[in-house]
Amino acid sequence: MKKLNLLLILVKRGAVGEKVRVTIRELADDLKTSPQSVLRLLEEMEEEGLLKRETEGKKTYMELTPEGLRFLEDVCDRISSALYNGVILGEVVSGIGEGAYYVKQYAPLIREYLGFDPYPGTLNIRVLFPKTIFDALCNVRPVVLPGFTKGGRTFGDVRAYPVRIRGLEGAIVVPSRTIHPPKIAEIIAPAYLREELNIRDGDLVKVTVRE
């Protein structure tokens, strides 16, 4: 962890693609440790090829090596894989009452593309984790419900992402035109989820995205 923290400190100081001047004392203060510990850490990281260090008189210059940057990228990938693994934690909230109308309009497409007859309404959850609904869905290929025209009105495409909530099947729907912020997920299902799951506003629910 200290190696990671030190590399991140150097990145923030601009030590990518160029050498930057930094003192051992500054690094010790940032890491909340002793200068002696920082020196030992720097020596280890130099031996591992994570950074380069040059001394000119009393001035010390440091720069991350390509190996150091790959180290950070690997950590980032591992964290992303662990966090953004298709799990959404959200809080049940009330919608604005328009879900039932739109679900009815798209019901034939939902039946054709998703394989179930939807309950006329949506379950809305405020996403608590990850940051937005798009962070959770970025690596998932959606089922696209094509747009259509009905009664002189145009209904746009809807991206649907099959999900499971406490064993029940459903789908997060993301219309091409939506008034909801990226923190709100709208979920359709073949059942009235509030009743089926015995949940109400303020309850926490875990949603698993099915790939």
Q: What is the mean predicted confidence (pLDDT) over 155-184? A: 88
Provide mean pLDDT across the span 90-118.
93
Provide DSSP, 128-187: EESSSHHHHHTTSPPEEE--EEETTEEE--EEEEEEEETTEEEEEEEESS--S-TTEEEE
The conformation of residue 119, written as its DSSP 8-state character, comes to P
> Which amino acid, one-letter code, is at 207?
V
Q: For residue range 14-56, list pLDDT tens digits in order.
A: 999 999 999 889 999 999 999 999 999 999 999 999 999 998 8
pLDDT value at residue 206: 95
Q: What is the pTM of this model?
A: 0.71
Residue 176's alpha-carbon distances to 56, 88, 126, 157, in angstroms, are 58, 21, 19, 6
Q: What percent of the chain has pLDDT over 70?
A: 98
Residue with tokens 């993301």: 174
Using the predicted structure, report yes or no on whether residue 178 has a pLDDT greater than 80: no
Mean pLDDT taken over the chain: 91
Q: Which domains does the chain have, with CATH numbers?
A: 2-83 (1.10.10.10), 87-209 (2.40.30.30)
Q: What is the pLDDT of residues 134-144, one digit of tens each?
A: 888 877 899 99
Q: Is the peptide bond before 120 cis (omega within 30 degrees of 0)?
A: no
